[in-house]
Amino acid sequence: MQTQEGDVTPDLQSEKALHSHGATQWLEPLVYDIRHRIRALLRAPGFTSTAILIMALGIGVNISLFSVVRGVLWTPLPYREPGRLVALFEQDTNNKDLSSRLPVDAGSFAEWQSATQGIAQFALVSTWQHYNISAEGNRLPEQIDAAWCSWNLFEVLGVTPSLGRSFTAEDDRPDAQATVMLTALLWQRRYGGDRSIVGRTIWLDSKPYIVIGVLPASFQFSGSFGGNTIRAWTAVRHEAPYQLMRSFEDHEFLAIARLASGTSMLRMAGRLDALQKQIRAERPRTGVHDSVKVRPMLDDAVAEFRAPLYSLFAFTGCVLAIACLNVAGLTIARMATRTKDVAIRVGLGAGYFRLVRERLIESLLLSFGGGAGGFVLALGAIRWFVTIRPEMTRVGQIDVVNGCSLSSCGTYVKELRTAASNGSGSSSQQRTYDARQSAKRTLQRTRHAS
């Protein structure tokens, strides 16, 4: 109660003092135990460094592999409604030696488009192109990977340029003005992010091209035939020879389709497969294939890496388990050398819960050190992996510093901390019991001697 403003009754003062005393009584021993265990770990650098290194390796390997698996296999494609996007390939059922996913010819693609109007939007891509950018100002010439695409590719994918505009049907004609779209990476690296690049002319293979747009930084074409290293996009009908765009035997393209609402992939695949058999019957030549394979675009992008990555991920789980067992073994061995010390402390009146708390604090300190080291190790491993494998599909989606990777880090630290705490807790219980029995025997011998 307060009698006047600013005055406090004696009862309230006593209550505050009691709360303050209770908090201090609980906090001071904890702080003392933390300092004591830190000093104890520093006095045993061999044990401490070995335990932290083992945990850092186990946690770091798991976080890095989890980040790769999440970025490559689990993260949705960075397009609008990616679940409706499919990739299309040709097959030759008469030749079992050929792959089940063959590139598409432009002639068959045109037939597919005409026969499936209303159930899907189709786009054509060729990811195997290159251009030489001419020198300009203080910029040296360089060769870049590029791609041809039909004018509606980015509309099909649901990607909007961050600067300028996308291709139109007028750009995708043989007699049109040559146009190009740049990726954000090339725009930033070669042109310094200059927003006036739109509308300017650059020279590719000694020919003038007008820059009409810059793609967003998040855009990366994902497909089994590559796309990670593409830095420029041009209109396919303007670039490709006329004969190639009418050929049924020259397979240079990948077809992408966005299914209309209510259209199933199996329905479209059945229609296209029947159509392709008809195309083969009308053109019984060696290079004309007789079947079509349709699969989700995400499955196509990661098909090559799914089995190896899952196998490695399972292996790293075993590594984490081994790390937990090793740390638990080290902790037990350390406790075995401290039996006499514990017996003396018990004889001096140390309580059971105090001893267990010290073991838990020590385990937590080791876990936090190993977790921090593992996260730093994972950062370095991810950056190294991205550097050596820039061509890997969806490698740009790998990011260890994101919410999911951080939560995985916390999960792994928690698992390892629990394993280490359980091991140290059980060992401390056993050692405390042994210490108490040893202390009792010592006291009994003392009494008998007297």
pLDDT tens string 197-239: 999 999 999 999 999 999 998 888 877 776 678 999 999 999 9
pLDDT at 401: 53
Q: How far apart are the first and last CA of the chain?
A: 61
In a domain, 14, yes or no: no
Domain end call among 258, 288, 318: 288
Mean pLDDT (the chain) is 80
Say if residue 159 is in the same domain as residue 57. Answer: no
Q: How far is 326 from 53, CA to CA, in rounded Å?
A: 11
253, 147 in Cβ contact below 8 A? no
CA-closest candidate to residue 419, choices 66, 59, 48, 32: 59
In the predicted model, is pLDDT for residue 276 greater than 90?
Answer: yes
Q: How far is 173 from 432, CA to CA, in rounded Å?
A: 85
Say if residue 397 is in the same domain as residue 426. Answer: yes
In angstroms, what is the C-alpha Rg of the chain? 34
Say if residue 326 is in the same domain as residue 370. Answer: yes
Grade residue 404 by pLDDT with cuts at 50, 70 and 90. very low
pLDDT at 280: 92
In a domain, 258, yes or no: yes
Grade residue 419 by pLDDT with cuts at 50, 70 and 90. very low
pLDDT at 366: 85
In a domain, 350, yes or no: yes
Q: How far is 194 from 55, CA to CA, in rounded Å?
A: 47
Say if residue 200 is in the same domain as residue 319. Answer: no
Domain end call among 234, 262, 288: 288
Highest mean pLDDT: which range of 23-37, 88-102, 125-139, 375-389: 125-139
Tally of domains within the chain: 2
Alpha-carbon separation of residue 173 from 28, 151, 306 (angstroms): 80, 9, 39
Q: Span 252-263, mean pLDDT?
A: 92
List, in order, residues 6 or more apart from 243 with CB less than 8 Å away: 250
Top pLDDT among 52 and 410 is at: 52
In a domain, 158, yes or no: yes
193, 171 in Cβ contact below 8 A? no
pLDDT at 370: 85
Q: For a pLDDT cut of 70, what percent of the chain falls above it?
A: 78
384, 61 in Cβ contact below 8 A? no
In a domain, 203, yes or no: yes
Say if residue 314 is in the same domain as residue 230. Answer: no
What is the tens place of the pLDDT at every residue in 118-141?
889 999 999 999 999 998 878 899
pLDDT at 383: 80
Q: Span 402-423, mean pLDDT?
A: 49
Alpha-carbon separation of residue 240 from 12, 150, 251 (angstroms): 88, 11, 13
In the predicted model, is pLDDT for residue 88 greater than 80?
Answer: yes
DSSP per-residue codes, 33-53: HHHHHHHHHHT-HHHHHHHHH
CA dihedral 163, 167, 170, 172 (to 10 degrees): 140
Q: What is the DSSP letter of 135?
A: P
| Strand pairing report for 207-214 and 179-182 | parallel
Say if residue 276 is in the same domain as residue 309. Answer: no
Say if residue 244 is in the same domain as residue 352. Answer: no
In the predicted model, is pLDDT for residue 2 greater than 80?
Answer: no
pLDDT at 427: 45
Say if residue 205 is in the same domain as residue 352. Answer: no
Say if residue 154 is in the same domain as residue 282. Answer: yes
CA-closest candidate to residue 55, choices 436, 366, 428: 366
CA-closest candidate to residue 316, choices 407, 388, 376, 381: 381
In a domain, 124, yes or no: yes
Grade residue 10 by pLDDT with cuts at 50, 70 and 90. low
Top pLDDT among 335 and 404 is at: 335
In the predicted model, is pLDDT for residue 3 greater than 60?
Answer: no
Say if residue 254 is in the same domain as residue 113. Answer: yes
233 φ, ψ (degrees, to nearest 5): -125, 135
In the predicted model, is pLDDT for residue 426 greater than 60?
Answer: no
Helix axes 45-69, 352-388, angle to 10 degrees: 50
In the predicted model, is pLDDT for residue 330 greater than 70?
Answer: yes
Question: Cα–Cα–Cα angle for 167, 169, 175, nearest 5°?
Answer: 100
Grade residue 322 by pLDDT with cuts at 50, 70 and 90. confident
In a domain, 325, yes or no: yes
Q: Span 161-186, mean pLDDT?
A: 96
3-state secondary structure of 204: strand
Top pLDDT among 11 and 195 is at: 195
In the predicted model, is pLDDT for residue 250 greater than 80?
Answer: yes
Top pLDDT among 44 and 403 is at: 44
In a domain, 240, yes or no: yes
Tokens standing for residue 381 = 């491993």
Say if residue 326 is in the same domain as residue 434. Answer: yes
pLDDT at 327: 82
Q: Span 254-262, mean pLDDT?
A: 92
- Which amino acid is located at 77 in the chain? L
Q: Span 238-245, mean pLDDT?
A: 94
In this structure, the number of other CB atoms found within 10 A of the CB of residue 135 comes to 10
In the predicted model, is pLDDT for residue 343 greater than 90?
Answer: no
In the predicted model, is pLDDT for residue 172 greater than 90?
Answer: yes
Q: How far is 212 from 165, CA to CA, in rounded Å?
A: 6
pTM assigned to the model: 0.70
Domain extent for 213: 103-288
Say if residue 264 is in the same domain as residue 349. Answer: no
pLDDT at 445: 55
339, 437 in Cβ contact below 8 A? no
Domain end call among 262, 288, 314: 288
CA-closest candidate to residue 385, choices 55, 58, 59, 65: 65
